[in-house]
């Protein structure tokens, strides 16, 4: 199982597109890649697009909360886009929807 | 109720096996023709249990994870066992957002997710001996 990651950086908005399954194995591989992007150029808003993520467990929650804390410490905000049915369930039960906008 | 089918496997406590374990369980459970949502819930709970065994049970060191699935006409029981360090305080471990490994950005939501996504969850653990997680998911026919 692999997780593909692509970035779009435009007007200080960094959008991360993930494709695949977001578990502990995948998270440990992409965490540093995302953090590097956050310090390469100024980012005011971090958008995580989960539209192509077919599976996520609580390791994904850890990744999201960790990046949320990081972007907040840099003075920015974070949002999540396009989570599918099962992802939305886990995002809501962990209270992520109270931390950031999910659309 | 008598079981209608069983299977047992063991595999190394490597993170690549998280996906393997949930796919195997889903394939076995598919015999009951569950809904996609029930199957997704089961996969999530299995993924949490196996991840816990790797990160907490064996503390990311080599070890063996034992998994058993028992099928009944309307449900599946999945047992995930490790012979790792064991859990110091099970009640504390079940508390939402409690984690012993914040430095790894663990959310502490593993057991909460399991509780929400299956119908029953039993945790047995002994310090220095290991942990056994027993979960049962009922299926509405798909």
- Which CA distances in Å does B61 have to B3, B11, B13, B53, B137? 35, 13, 8, 10, 30
Distance CA B142, CA B127 (A): 41
Q: Please give the ipTM for the structure prediction.
A: 0.92
Residue-wise pLDDT tens digits, A63-87: 999 999 999 999 999 999 999 988 9
Does B107 sit within 8 Å of A94, measured CB to CB?
Answer: yes
Choose the mutation target among A28, A56, A62, A97 for the interface with B, i.e. most B CBs under 10 Å.
A62
CATH top class, domain A2-100: alpha beta
The CA distance from B15 to the nearest CA of chain A, in Å, is 5
In tens digits, what is the pLDDT along chain A, a chain of 103 residues?
A: 689 999 999 999 999 999 999 999 999 999 999 999 999 889 999 999 999 999 999 999 999 999 999 999 999 999 999 999 889 999 999 999 999 999 9
B106 is catalytic: yes
Q: In what order do the strands lie in the sheet with B5-12?
A: B5-12, B64-72, B75-82, B130-138, B120-126
Domain annotation for chain B: domains and CATH numbers: 3-136 (3.30.565.10)
**Where exactly are the structural domains of chain A?**
2-100
| First-to-final CA distance of chain A | 27
Distance CA A5, CA B88 (A): 37
């Amino acid at each position: 199982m692999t997780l593909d990651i692509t970035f779009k950086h435009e007007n200080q908005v960094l959008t991360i597109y993930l494709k695949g399954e977001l578990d502990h194995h995948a998270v440990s591989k992409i965490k540093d890649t995302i953090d590097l992007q956050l310090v390469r150029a100024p980012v005011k808003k971090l958008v995580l697009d989960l539209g192509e993520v077919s599976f996520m467990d609580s390791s994904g929650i850890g990744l999201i909360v960790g990046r949320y804390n990081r972007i907040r410490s840099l003075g920015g905000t974070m949002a999540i886009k396009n989570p599918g049915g099962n992802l939305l369930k886990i995002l809501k039960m962990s209270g992520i929807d109270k931390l950031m906008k999910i659309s | 109720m008598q079981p209608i089918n069983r299977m047992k496997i063991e595999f190394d406590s490597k993170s690549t096996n998280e996906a393997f374990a949930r796919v195997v369980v889903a394939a076995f459970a598919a015999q009951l023709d569950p809904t996609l949502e029930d199957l997704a819930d089961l996969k999530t709970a299995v993924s949490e249990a196996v991840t816990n065994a790797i990160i907490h049970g064996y503390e990311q060191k080599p070890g063996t994870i034992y998994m058993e699935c028992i099928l009944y006409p309307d449900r599946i029981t999945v047992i995930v066992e490790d012979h790792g360090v064991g859990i110091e305080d099970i009640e504390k471990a079940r508390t939402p957002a409690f984690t012993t490994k914040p430095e790894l950005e663990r959310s502490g939501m593993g057991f909460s997710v399991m509780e929400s996504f299956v119908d029953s969850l039993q945790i047995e653990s002994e310090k220095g001996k290991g942990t056994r997680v027993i979960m049962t998911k009922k299926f509405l026919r798909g």
